[in-house]
Structure 1
Amino acid sequence: MHEDRERCIRAVQAKDDRFDGWFFTAVRTTRIYCRPSCPAVPPKPENMTFYPSAAAAQAAGYRACKRCRPDTSPGSPEWNVRADAVARAMRLIGEGVVDREGVTGLATRLGYSTRQIERQLKEELGAGPLALARAQRAQTARILIETSALSMSDIAYGAGFSSIRTFNDTVQEVFALSPSELRRRATRTQAAATPGVITLRLPFRRPLTPDNLFGHLVATAVPGVEEWRDGSYRRTLRLPYGHGVVSLAPRPDHISCRLALTDQRDLQVAIARCRRMLDLDADPVAVDEQLSRDPQMAELVAKAPGRRVPRTVDGDEFAVRAVLGQQVSTAAARTHAGRLVTAYGSKVEDPFGGGLTHLFPDMGTLAGLDPAALAMPQSRRTTLTTLIAALAAGEVDLGGGSDWARAREQLAALPGIGPWTVEVVAMRGLGDPDAFLASDLGVRKAAGALGLPAAPAALTRHAAVWQPWRAYAVQYLWATDDHPINLMPQE
């Protein structure tokens, strides 16, 4: 996108927020960079330079605009659409892998050499993995400075900086303000921070229809791990350094997010996982335009544009839950999952005084479960225990940097995991926007009611016109039913 100069100029002059996160505008005369929708008077075209990432703009010597705060833009939708090495690397960087494991760890996870990864990222994003991770640390630092009462030394540590001096220098360089100045500016415009709680706004590209998004998460919520309370979807999070509890509530122009973490170093990972779960980096205009080319889908899209795919914070967890839900009702699947959580999940305190009591158990712990204790047919017990063993041993990779095609092959090779389970894990666990549940009863019923083919093979052929957004087509088809997964939760 950033290489199409004329298109970028038009977006900046129109202050079009649909392109926020797609590219960044650097102004040569002021040495600042902005999001396309910056409310300031657009600069002259001859003074504009376009970069594919905030890190690239920072590396070129530009600082972030204090008015439009480009570091808070939605992420590029490309990283959720693509499954190549660059997209997988960006998802892993968002998960904090470079901070925890270095560039070598990133390359190892992707199966490439460090030189190959650095070259590919620089060619496409104008910055290598260290620069991209540095930009992410700066953003995390800013959030902590503005929304918490933590000391600056604690913030530097929590944001992943190696020293206070590096923290101070980076914040000054990126934002043209010292950490103390950033905090003073924030306290003039924001409410006082609640001790131990980080409150922030998660931006998204409009439009967004939250009904099926929050409805699905709440209708399938595992007791003790997830709940709907006081207008918010809430859940516990297992994180690299500790755990957290998050409350997420839809607002007209953002998602309100309240986070309580046991270790501040997990902030960026927690934000990335929440954004991924709510599919906030999607490009709804591109999705809806493609789906609307099919006359039968156009009416559904027009009724509620901007539907998102409800995803997950943990691919392994979702795969286990998908198997627990095979051929049973939503209520039965919740019951099975709740029993696993009670028996094997780690207990936690709910800092907001709600009903969250456990973390969903990790695969290493579940590998020791007693199959005889599972109230399900023997065949499904075998499927579940085989899946858990494969996940615990790393034989199936459903993480942020996984290869979607390879993950499908690994899942399909396990006993009892057929096309429906593979595709639902690909859609909600891996985040593949083109995953398609052709054999799903709800999808087939909705398709038939619209005059579309209902047989899986014929429907798959017809769905070619929806590519590469078939997972979103599934959401629109499901939404024709009055099942609770499609309805905004009520108190």
Structure 2
Amino acid sequence: MQKGMHTDTERCVRAVRSKDARFDGWFFTAVLTTGIYCRPSCPVVPPKPENMVFHPSAAACQQAGFRACKRCRPDTSPGSPEWNQRADAVARAMRLIADGTVDREGVPGLAARLGYSTRQVERQLLAELGAGPLALARAQRAQTARLLIETTTLPMAEIAFAAGFSSVRTFNDTVREVFALAPSDLRARAPKRTPGPAAAPGTPAALSLRLPFRAPLTPDNLFGHLAATAVPGVEEWRDGAYRRTLRLPHGHGFVALAPRPDHIACRLTLTDPRDLTVAISRCRRLLDLDADPVAVDDRLRTDPVLAPLVDKAPGRRVPRAVDEAEFAVRAVLGQQVSTAAARTHAARLVTAYGEPVDDPDPEGGLTHLFPSPGALADLDPGTLALPRARRATFATLVRVLVDGSLRLGVGSDWSEARAKLLALPGFGPWTADVIAMRALGDPDAFLPTDLGIRRAARELGLPSTPAALTAHAAAWRPWRAYAVQYLWATDSHPINLLPT
């Protein structure tokens, strides 16, 4: 079990007194005299230290009988960066809970995915987070319910269903307990928003959300990479936003994501509102919004070669993926070819095997969901315009994804998944590590054989051979995936430029 920041009382008190937003999501402050819990940056006058107790999660605060602060809305904090930078069972469990696993499969399903017993999972989560998997999932449902109450006109019964509650009564009781307000009162207090464009008849309504992040955030390589590698029909850059289709547990969706100075503007259209929590979680992972840029950049600045790059554009994120299997397929299609060629190969696959969808925006160009591994199972590799060896690699990847001998997902063990990838014919270190970095979210994945990285290293005076560069990069751990972004950004390639 890892010792959480909430156990360092002196450090937590300092963060609360300075209203330091960098620690939002790291811990929560429960105030004994008021019975509420807050984020560290709450704008109200901080309570006396003897009246503060600290918890590692909103669920733990709720379990202890505290209500969410109406002023700072701690349930809307960025997620703890712990869960995306660690590879242990607790971190994997938190990623799976955020992806809706407990709501869909229950605690036994969560435990099975982790390879532990339900008792082991409950014990580990309770020890580190002060709450078990059911309580953590309940806190997530409450947050989703609040979001729907405040940003939509959906009837309360539909919101209860969409947020994952088993009954309207449970929904009402949970909202009252967590927020000290009835759902109707919560809606009445919400700021009035300017309505967006009306959806076409029969089209699901769009939700406009603000996705918070820890500052700083440099968006150019993040959105530039997504736009430059966008697969036609599945992704596009239009009107200042990255748009794509989403394959979700209960249906599909469309999302538009645009950078703003203090948040990411997110516009979601879902065929089934039950997918809201999962869609938000996957968009946050795609943009790496729960990262701790201060910790990352402080470590990389210790290298005098990287320090100027970090100072010039601090807060670079790792562009990730909303679907791990999709990214693995695209990584194979992109082996040893240009970005443009990789897009062309993927677009042909989408046209032939993707599931057609109707873009809710009449001017949009989204036409398909990226084909699932099952849809590609009967594909004749000989029809692919790829070298014979890569066709074999593609066929092998699809086979192991379909039969389940390779599982790529938010709960994957990074080392185990990488080892299984490297054991497949045609998978070298570059392919395995780019999947680990972009799809699985390993913050320490490194690409010393990448031509762009070697060129940047040579121009900066760093060792340029893979072995020597890997040895030098040991000082960047555990954030080598972020060093990759800073090195890539020294080039003028479109992946490093915010589209106009």
Shorter-chain TM-score category? over 0.9
What does residue range 16-415 of structure 1 map to in structure 2 within 5 Å? 16-186=20-190, 188-192=191-195, 196-353=205-362, 354-415=364-425
Aligned mates of 1:331, 1:154 — CA distance in 2: 44
8 A contact 1:201–1:256 mirrored in 2: yes
- The Cα shift of 1:191 comes to 2.5
Which runs of 5 or more structure 2 residues have no equivalent in the other structure?
A: 200-204
Aligned mates of 1:357, 1:179 — CA distance in 2: 37
- The Cα shift of 1:398 comes to 1.1
Aligned mates of 2:462, 2:341 — CA distance in 1: 31
Which of 407, 427, 433 matches 2:437? 427
1:295 match: secondary structure: coil
Quote the residue 2:454 is aligned against.
444
- The Cα shift of 1:174 comes to 0.4
Aligned mates of 2:430, 2:124 — CA distance in 1: 34
Aligned mates of 2:154, 2:376 — CA distance in 1: 36
Aligned mates of 1:352, 1:272 — CA distance in 2: 23
Q: Which runs of 4+ in 1 moved over 4 A?
A: none
Per-residue deviation, residues 351-384 of structure 1 (Å, max 9, x unmatched): 1221000000111111111112100111000000
Q: Residue 120 of structure 2 aligns to which amino acid in structure 1?
A: Q
Per-residue deviation, residues 317-339 of structure 1 (Å, max 9, x unmatched): 00000000001110000000000
Aligned mates of 1:455, 1:433 — CA distance in 2: 22
Aligned mates of 1:334, 1:479 — CA distance in 2: 21
Q: Residue 93 of structure 2 aligns to which amino acid in structure 1?
A: A
Aligned mates of 1:317, 1:393 — CA distance in 2: 16
- The Cα shift of 1:149 comes to 1.5
Aligned mates of 1:36, 1:366 — CA distance in 2: 48
User: May I ask how many residue pairs the two structures share in their alignment?
Assistant: 489
Which of 456, 461, 464 matches 2:474? 464
Percent identity among equivalent residues?
75
- The Cα shift of 1:466 comes to 0.3
Aligned mates of 2:491, 2:31 — CA distance in 1: 50
Which runs of 5 or more structure 1 residues have no equivalent in the other structure?
A: none
Q: Residue 119 of structure 1 aligns to which amino acid in structure 2?
A: R
- The Cα shift of 1:400 comes to 0.7
* TM-score, normalised via structure 1 length: 0.99
- The Cα shift of 1:313 comes to 0.2
Per-residue deviation, residues 260-290 of structure 1 (Å, max 9, x unmatched): 0000110000000000000000000000000
- The Cα shift of 1:450 comes to 1.1
Aligned mates of 1:148, 1:411 — CA distance in 2: 43
* TM-score, normalised via structure 2 length: 0.97
What's the C-alpha RMSD, in Å, of the aligned pairs? 0.8
8 A contact 1:33–1:62 mirrored in 2: yes
Q: Which 10-residue stretch deviates more, 405-414 or 191-200?
A: 191-200
8 A contact 1:148–1:197 mirrored in 2: no
Q: Residue 51 of structure 1 aligns to which amino acid in structure 2?
A: H
Q: Residue 417 of structure 1 aligns to which amino acid in structure 2?
A: F
Per-residue deviation, residues 163-182 of structure 1 (Å, max 9, x unmatched): 00000000011011111111
Aligned mates of 2:149, 2:135 — CA distance in 1: 21
- The Cα shift of 1:394 comes to 1.1
Aligned mates of 1:182, 1:227 — CA distance in 2: 36
Per-residue deviation, residues 284-312 of structure 1 (Å, max 9, x unmatched): 00000000000000000000000000000
